[in-house]
Every structure is written in C-alpha cells, then in structure tokens.
Amino acid sequence: MNPTALQTALELYLAHLTVERGLSANTLLAYRRDLTRYTAFLESRGCAAPADVAEPDVEDFVVAVRSGSDGRTALSASSAARTVVAVRGWHKFLLLDGATGLDPARAVKPPAQPKRLPKAISVADVERLLDAAGVGAGPVPLRDRALLELVYGTGARISEAVGLDIDDVDRTPGRATVRLFGKGTKERVVPLGAFALEAVESYLVQARPALAVGGTGGSPGVFLNTRGARLSRQSAWAVLRVAAERAGLAEAEHISPHTLRHSFATHLLAGGADVRVVQELLGHASVSTTQIYTMVTPDTLREVFAASHPRAQ
C-alpha cells in the first residue's frame, strides 16, 4: 500500500529530526509513536494531506488522547503534553518547509498539569534525619549536621547553602541571620533559629578549621569538603541521602534537599505563619508560588472533619 500524503510528510519530519536535530533513538521513537497516532486520527476524520488539517482537528486530538476516545490508551496530562509538543513541532516544520500555508496547532495549548502538593516530611522525621547526619566522630558529621540544620532552619535552596561565605552568617545571639543569594542573585536575609545557630557554631569552631587545613586557597565558603574547598551541590545531596538512609526514613531515596525546603514552608504555615512571610523567607518572586503550600491535604480534611463535625463520630 502506498503511503498517504500525511505519512510521507511525517517521514520527512522524522528524517529532519534525525539528521538536522540529532535526536536520540528513544526520543525519535517517542515522536514516531505520538505522531503516528496523530496521523491515524486525522485520516479517520478525512484529512488526506497536511494542508487539510484545521485547528479544531488538533484540539479534538488533544481531547482524544486524554480520554482515549480514538480507541487507544488515554494518556496522563504530562504524556498528552509531550504529544502536543510533537504535534506542534511537526506543524511548525510543515509551515516553514512550505508544505502548508497555515499552522493549525499554533494556538493549541497542552492540557494543564494538575497541581501537586510539594512533598514534605513530618517534624519527627526531620529530627531523625538531623540526628542521623551528626552520627560519628570528626569534623564531617559536625559539618553535615550544620548543613542540614541550616537548610531546614532557613528554607534555603541547596545551591544557596553551599554558596554561603563566612561573611554571610551573622551569629549574634538573639538576632542571628544568614544572607542568601537566590535565583538571579536576588538577596534575602533570613533569621537563623537557635538549633541551626548552635549546629553552625559547633561546626565553625570545632570542625571547619580542621577541614580548611586540607586546602591551599583559603576558601571563604562556610561548608568545606575534606580537601578544604567549597562543598559542591552534588556532595551536599550525598550528605542528605546518606542521612535519610541512616535514619531509616520511608522512601529515603526520594528525599532531596528540596524536601527540607518544602518541609520548612509546610511546618511554618501549619504553625500559623502568614503566607506572605513564608514567601519572603523562601525568596519567591510571587506569592502564588508559595500558595501551593496552603493546599489542604486529604488527611487534613479528614482530621478537621472528625474533630469538628457533630455527626462525624
């Protein structure tokens, strides 16, 4: 059977992706799978060539892949979004190549991704994690405990924590702070709580000098590796991963430095902090970014219902 005009146009596009874009075999396979489903859908609607495709055809295809109404597996929002990217790329290519005079997919947007609650761990699990980080003798456990205490105690991103210099830490009792440099070098000053301050003090006095001996450049970084250089983000990740495993936390392999940042925000809001204060502490440009932490979980709904409704129990 001779290929249809749509199938021929698809093969030309896949050849373009292979030769001009140099995409990997797996990526090309995904493009072929998504666009083959798309061409079959178009042909079922009587579209024989790329020029026959109109915007409603593209929109209806997005509905079909989400619902499975084309007789194939319904896709999640993220998988459907990937398919829409492939469709839009193909139509843009067809327009630039002169095969069509219009781009029917230009205004079609991928399906909205569902908002997910940031993952946070309980206060008890945080305490277990911090205790596990400080297990052992020598300067490294003191450093690891101080690092994780600071990340959880300030909501710092891991890049902000390892980027700290000695001069960025004000250890004055009662008004201790750290100066963090976030995205776009945006600066913010965050209070350093008593537990984090104690851990940082212990590290700076008892451990950092021993780590600094191994270096030759006199790094100004707060957190140093065993060679006396600034601790890297990758090493900081390893510190957390080892501590999570040692603490025996559930799904320890999925706990990241951002988990502590999420936990910082979640625990503050649960304690009654105003969302705009949390926004400032996290360094979010918009309060809408912070508001995801205010989403009520199903567990919270059940707890409040059970405690508040006269006929709940």
What is the spatial distance between Cα 306 and Cα 88, in angstroms, rounded to a whole number?
A: 49
Kindly list the distances between the CA atom of residue 82 and the CA atoms of 20, 33, 65, 88, 111, in Å, as whole numbers in the listed order: 20, 11, 11, 10, 10
> For this structure, is 284 an active site residue?
yes
Among 145, 261, 262, 267, the active-site one is: 261
Among 119, 179, 246, 258, the active-site one is: 258
Among 13, 38, 152, 293, the active-site one is: 293
Among 88, 143, 145, 157, the active-site one is: 157
Q: Kindly state the greatest CA–CA separation across the chain.
A: 82
22's tokens: 């140099």
> For this structure, is 13 an active site residue?
no
CB 264 within 8 A of CB 152: yes
Give residue 235's Cα distance to chain centre.
19
What is the spatial distance between Cα 182 and Cα 282, in angstroms, rounded to a whole number?
A: 9
> For this structure, is 183 an active site residue?
yes
Tokens 């503050």 belong to 268
Among 183, 254, 276, 302, the active-site one is: 183
> For this structure, is 157 an active site residue?
yes
Tokens 């994690």 belong to 129
What is the spatial distance between Cα 257 and Cα 120, in angstroms, rounded to a whole number?
A: 11
Enzyme catalytic residues: 157, 183, 258, 261, 284, 293
